[in-house]
Structure 1
């Protein structure tokens, strides 16, 4: 087993949230002379959002009705392939679910398959677990709480459903819990999703609404688990966990199968286009999902700075200086700006 880092290696201030991309304020600080508007490719959020529509006034003026929350749970269960609506807990974004779900596991050894989204390790620490980040999937079997992002952020690594189910069974036999973050599974290999297996227990699946539907500011996410666990989570949240506008958008968008199918095709084509554009300018894509592309090469820092000075922001990683992640441009103008910036990036100082 290769341990990347443990709690003993990390000072207390790291328990604070770190930058995750998507901050135009930070971009302006780093590149104050860059032309605006910025082309923000630092997130994996779909630049082609679900069509906006007017929500009923009552979604803003009244407390959300339980019947509407029940309808969302039913539609989400169908969209994600969960056994039933009773296996779905809605929440104001996946982020807020992390410490609550990790609190379901007995306090002990939490292992995160890394490198990955940093908030998982931070949330597990906040909950009271002793956290180790590991690069070996097999090491997760020794955990009390095992955490896998699937597809992984930022490199797109995919763990098979078979391997994950075997791990969940092993952990459950010891009273452990497997949490699988499927935030990007809407754009990934959905046959590898564990959403349909959550009733077996010892397993929780997290699903993000905002990334694939391009509505991150709406703050909507779901925990899928066995009925008893979902009931416990719902009790912890209390009434009105999901806002009225989020209910309306979730119900309509998750039921819109045609839009989802067309969008998967569109972002797949655009990911291939981005790969080709990067390759023509000497940058090899080494992984990712249709919503973001992963690059690992020695000149990553130079590319980040060169594009940043042109008002194009990628996601870089302080602990992995050779790694970049790039989301999809959202318009013809953004594609043109990216191509122009790439054309001269190696000549930048």
Structure 2
């Protein structure tokens, strides 16, 4: 039986069962700990089925944020579902970069794992994340454009999971999505906006691909709460700009703390940091006994991923736990 704490982040129930109840600090995910503040005056009517115009409004607001035309955006009840539908919908061979999301390997039947920058065989689709998770590697847009040209010439697809890209708009390849390119992009709402429980994501693709998605998803794929909150949040440009700045500032402060403990932080996403440590398992236990949950990995036992803490009090808890256990 696999260890639930090694399977994914955010499993506080398993952590409490093993290490006891109490005021836990969950740093095991890459979710913004300072979420978008849902306005009290946001009127959400859960009685009727959502009007189709509300989905169109959400997709238009999201499209403006992504820098792509609205007709190339389809709302999803979480990007995870969109990824899992991709293989049956697209068909053909596929490869996925490792290390990466578990879901990438499950998106296509018999998808072949490849190390980053390894040549992709034939006309296979290539699925990767930018920035990557868990290592936080961020590719500039230019190399991605080169990969898109290669996949197109070979008759394959480039599929880019941009779940953590909201903090890096300059690196996003989403603006290149149109009907002439073999490019599919996935975006997540919950990570940057800190509302992962809302289960909202998007697939950006040529219109024939989106037509297949809409046929599978049905008439009401997004609930009324997600429609209202997502639309308002994507149009809150002041909060988005402030969040990008504050996330970068908090990540820099966390880097200084990790450095002070001899832990070299890796990655460019301001939502999480990866640490390599020869005794990562013991370090995980030390933090867990202090009721701080970070993310270990079954396939890389020397790794720990830390979500970036939200404030000075959280930084102090991590500092104290690293010093004294």
Identify which of 270, 291, 300 aligns with 2:250: 270
**Whole-Å separation in 1 of the counterparts to 2:317 and 2:116:** 40
Identify which of 11, 17, 36 aligns with 1:23: 11
1:106: Cα distance to partner? 2.9
Structure 2 CA distance for partners of 1:152 and 1:231, relative to 1, 3 Å: same
Name the structure 1 match of 2:105.
121
1:177: Cα distance to partner? 1.6
What CA deviation, in whole Å up to 9, does each residue of 1:235-292 have, x standing for no partner? 2211111110001111100011110110111010100111111111221112241000
Contact 1:154-1:288 at 8 Å conserved across structures: no
Identify which of 78, 81, 100 aligns with 1:93: 78
Alignment of 1:1-349 (within 5 A): 19-32=7-20, 36-54=22-40, 55-58=42-45, 60-82=46-68, 84-108=69-93, 110-124=94-108, 129-140=109-120, 142=122, 144-188=124-168, 190-199=169-178, 200-345=180-325
**Whole-Å separation in 2 of the counterparts to 1:274 and 1:320:** 22
Q: Which runs of 5+ in 2 are unaligned?
A: none
Q: TM-score, normalised by structure 2?
A: 0.93
Query: Counterpart of 1:48 in 2: which secondary structure?
Result: coil
**Whole-Å separation in 2 of the counterparts to 1:57 and 1:293:** 36
What CA deviation, in whole Å up to 9, does each residue of 1:42-81 have, x standing for no partner? 00000000002344242x1111111111111111111001
1:173: Cα distance to partner? 3.5
**Whole-Å separation in 1 of the counterparts to 2:91 and 2:152:** 12
**Whole-Å separation in 2 of the counterparts to 1:201 and 1:120:** 21
Name the structure 2 match of 1:6.
none
Alignment coverage as a number of residue pairs: 321
Contact 2:86-2:107 at 8 Å conserved across structures: no
1:334: Cα distance to partner? 2.2
1:303: Cα distance to partner? 1.2
Q: Which runs of 5+ in 1 are unaligned?
A: 1-12
Query: Counterpart of 1:336 in 2: which secondary structure?
Result: helix
Contact 2:32-2:271 at 8 Å conserved across structures: yes
Contact 2:138-2:268 at 8 Å conserved across structures: no
Q: TM-score, normalised by structure 1?
A: 0.87
Cα RMSD over matched residues? 1.9
**Whole-Å separation in 1 of the counterparts to 2:120 and 2:139:** 12
Contact 2:76-2:201 at 8 Å conserved across structures: yes
1:29: Cα distance to partner? 2.9
